[in-house]
C-alpha cells in the first residue's frame, strides 16, 4: 500500500546520504521533496504541514549539525516524527463488568461484517468468549454472511432476521451473551454509501441501548482523503474510541493511515491485511513507520512465523536440518507453513534491505508457483518424497502428468532441492559453510 511513498522517501534519503555536511538550504530542499511525496500519497495537507514543520525545527538545529552522520540523523528524525504522527498504539479497553460490547461502525463496503469475524477470531485466541450480533438489516445477505462466517469459525451469532429494528436486535444480543456466559459482544451495524442523518440517529440509538466500551470505525484505507472526512464525521456524532483500517494490503496511496489518527485524535487499533479471517494485525505505529521508510518490520514477521509454525515441528525440523536429513516431505510441510504467513511479497517487504527483491515478486505469480510446487510434490509417492534420488525418467513423466506440469519443471524443483541439501551439509561444516551461504545470498 505504501509502495510509492516508500520508494520516493528512499530516493530522497539516498541522495541525502551522499552529502557529508548538511546546510539549511539542503534541509529545505529535502523537506520540500518529503512534503510532495506525502501529498502525492494522499496524506491530509494539514497533517503534512505540521509534520514537515516539526521535522524542520529539529533538522536545522544542533541535533543534526553536530551529528557525525547528518543524513542518518535526518532519517532518524523523520522516523520519530512519523511515529508521533501515527500516534500511540491503541488497545481494546475491555474493563468493567462483562459482557464487553464492541460496536463496529462505518460506511457500506468498508468490510465491517468480515471484520466482526476477524476480531472475534482474535479475541477467542486471546482467551475471550465472543458472540457476533447481526445488526445490519439493510444490506442484502448481511445477516446470512455473518452467520456463514460464524459457522466457519465455530463462533456464536445472534440474529433476528431483517425485520426487527437494529437497536432492539443489538440489545437482545447483549442479553443473550449474559445468559450464555459470553464475555464479548461484537455488533455488526449497518452502513450507508455515505454519512446521513438517519444512519447516525440509528447508530446513536444502538449505542444508547448497548453502552459499548469500544466504538470502532472500520475504514477502507483505499478511499484516501475521503476516509479522513468519514472518520471526522463519525467521531463528531457517535464518539469513536478507535479506528480499524481495512485493505491496507491493497495498492492505494496509503495517506489515510497517516492522516486519520492526527485529524480525529482517535488511535488506530487494528490493520486488516487481507481477505481471510486471520488477516488482522494489531497496530504498532513504530513498525508501520519502519515499513513506510523501507526499514522492514522484523517483529511482525516473527509474530507471523510464531503463529504459523508449530513449536514441536520447528524443533524436529531444526534437528533434520542440522543432520542434513531434510527430505521433500519436510519441504512440502515447510512450504504449507510459509503460505499461512501471508503473500511472499509482504513477507519480503518486512525484511530490512530486501525491498528491491520484494518489488520483483508478484503475489499472484508467487501463489501460482507455490501451487505448482505443491502439486509436483503431492504427485510423488511417499517413498519418492523421502528418497528423491530414485526419481528417474519414467517417474518424472508420471509426476509431471499427475501435477499438470512438465518434466522440465519437475527437474527444476529436484535441482533446487539438491542445492538446498548441499547447502545444509555445508552449514554442518561450520564457518566455511556459512561463508559459502553468505556468498550465495550476495
In a domain, 231, yes or no: yes
Res. 47 pLDDT band, cuts 50 70 90: confident
More confident residue, 216 or 47: 216
Please determine, for residue 176, whether its predicted confidence score (pLDDT) is greater than 90.
Answer: yes
In a domain, 276, yes or no: yes
Do 207 and 136 have their domain in common?
Answer: yes
In a domain, 92, yes or no: no
Please determine, for residue 442, whether its predicted confidence score (pLDDT) is greater than 50.
Answer: no
In a domain, 49, yes or no: yes
Do 334 and 367 have their domain in common?
Answer: yes
Q: What is the per-residue burial (b if ≥16 Cβ within 10 Å, else e) of 198-229?
A: ebbebbebbbebbebbbbbbbbbbbbbeebbe
**pTM for this one?**
0.66
In a domain, 91, yes or no: no
Interval 275-314: pLDDT, tens? 888 888 888 888 777 777 765 545 555 555 656 556 666 5
- Find the domain containing 169 and state its range: 100-293
Domain boundary among the residues 257, 272, 293 is at 293
Please determine, for residue 131, whether its predicted confidence score (pLDDT) is greater than 90.
Answer: yes
Give the number of domains in the chain.
Answer: 3
Domain boundary among the residues 28, 61, 86 is at 86
In a domain, 94, yes or no: no
User: Considering the chain, what percentage of its residues have pLDDT values greater than 70?
Assistant: 73
Please determine, for residue 350, whether its predicted confidence score (pLDDT) is greater than 50.
Answer: yes
More confident residue, 433 or 93: 93
Please determine, for residue 164, whether its predicted confidence score (pLDDT) is greater than 70.
Answer: yes
Do 241 and 281 have their domain in common?
Answer: yes
Taking a C-beta distance cutoff of 8 angstroms, is the pair 169, 84 a contact?
no
Interval 362-406: pLDDT, tens? 555 566 777 888 899 899 998 898 888 899 889 999 999 999 999
The pLDDT of residue 233 is 87
Interval 249-281: pLDDT, tens? 665 556 776 788 888 888 889 988 888 888 888
C-alpha cell of 428?
Answer: 554442518
Res. 321 pLDDT band, cuts 50 70 90: low
Please determine, for residue 136, whether its predicted confidence score (pLDDT) is greater than 70.
Answer: yes
Amino acid at each position: 500500500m505504501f509502495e510509492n511513498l516508500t520508494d520516493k522517501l528512499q530516493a530522497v534519503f539516498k541522495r541525502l546520504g551522499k552529502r557529508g555536511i548538511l546546510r539549511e538550504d539542503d534541509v529545505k530542499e529535502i523537506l520540500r521533496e518529503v512534503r510532495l511525496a506525502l501529498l502525492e500519497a494522499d496524506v491530509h495537507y494539514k497533517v503534512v504541514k505540521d509534520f514537515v514543520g516539526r521535522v524542520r525545527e529539529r533538522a536545522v538545529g544542533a541535533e543534526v549539525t553536530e551529528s557525525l552522520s547528518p543524513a542518518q540523523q535526518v532519517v532518524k528524525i523523520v522516523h520519530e516524527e512519523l511515529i508521533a504522527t501515527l500516534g500511540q498504539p491503541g488497545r481494546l479497553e475491555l474493563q468493567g463488568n462483562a459482557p464487553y460490547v464492541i460496536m463496529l461502525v462505518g460506511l457500506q463496503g468498508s468490510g465491517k461484517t468480515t471484520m466482526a469475524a476477524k476480531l472475534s477470531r482474535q479475541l477467542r485466541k486471546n482467551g475471550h468468549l465472543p458472540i457476533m450480533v447481526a445488526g445490519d438489516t439493510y444490506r442484502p445477505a448481511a445477516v446470512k454472511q455473518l452467520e456463514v462466517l460464524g459457522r466457519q469459525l465455530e463462533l456464536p451469532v445472534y440474529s433476528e432476521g431483517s425485520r426487527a429494528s437494529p437497536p432492539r436486535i443489538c440489545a437482545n444480543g447483549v442479553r443473550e451473551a449474559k445468559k450464555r456466559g459470553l464475555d464479548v459482544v461484537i455488533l455488526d451495524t449497518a452502513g450507508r454509501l455515505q454519512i446521513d442523518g438517519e444512519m447516525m440517529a440509528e447508530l446513536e440509538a444502538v449505542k444508547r441501548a448497548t453502552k459499548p466500551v469500544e466504538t470502532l470505525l472500520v475504514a477502507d484505507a483505499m478511499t484516501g482523503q475521503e476516509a479522513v472526512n468519514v472518520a471526522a464525521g463519525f467521531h463528531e456524532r457517535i464518539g469513536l474510541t478507535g479506528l480499524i483500517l481495512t485493505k491496507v494490503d491493497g495498492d492505494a496511496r496509503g495517506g489515510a493511515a497517516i492522516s486519520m489518527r492526527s485529524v480525529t485524535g482517535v488511535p488506530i487499533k487494528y490493520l486488516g491485511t487481507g481477505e481471510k479471517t486471520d488477516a488482522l494485525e494489531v497496530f504498532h505505529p513504530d513498525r508501520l513507520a519502519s515499513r513506510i521508510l523501507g526499514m522492514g518490520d522484523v517483529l511482525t514477521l516473527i509474530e507471523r512465523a510464531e503463529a504459523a509454525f508449530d513449536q514441536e515441528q520447528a524443533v524436529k525440523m531444526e534437528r533434520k536440518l542440522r543432520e542434513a536429513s531434510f527430505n521433500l516431505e519436510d519441504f512440502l510441510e515447510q512450504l504449507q507453513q510459509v503460505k499461512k504467513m501471508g503473500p511472499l511479497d509482504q513477507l519480503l517487504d518486512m525484511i530490512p534491505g530486501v525491498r528491491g527483491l520484494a518489488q520483483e515478486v508478484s503475489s499472484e505469480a508467487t501463489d501460482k508457483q507455490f501451487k505448482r510446487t505443491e502439486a509436483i510434490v503431492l504427485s510423488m509417492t511417499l517413498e519418492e518424497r523421502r528418497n528423491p534420488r530414485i526419481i528417474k525418467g519414467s517417474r518424472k513423466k508420471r509426476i509431471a502428468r499427475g501435477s499438470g506440469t512438465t518434466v522440465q519443471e519437475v527437474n527444476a524443483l529436484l535441482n533446487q532441492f539438491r542445492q538446498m541439501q548441499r547447502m545444509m551439509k555445508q552449514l554442518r561444516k561450520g564457518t566455511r559453510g556459512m561463508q559459502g551461504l553468505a556468498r550465495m545470498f550476495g
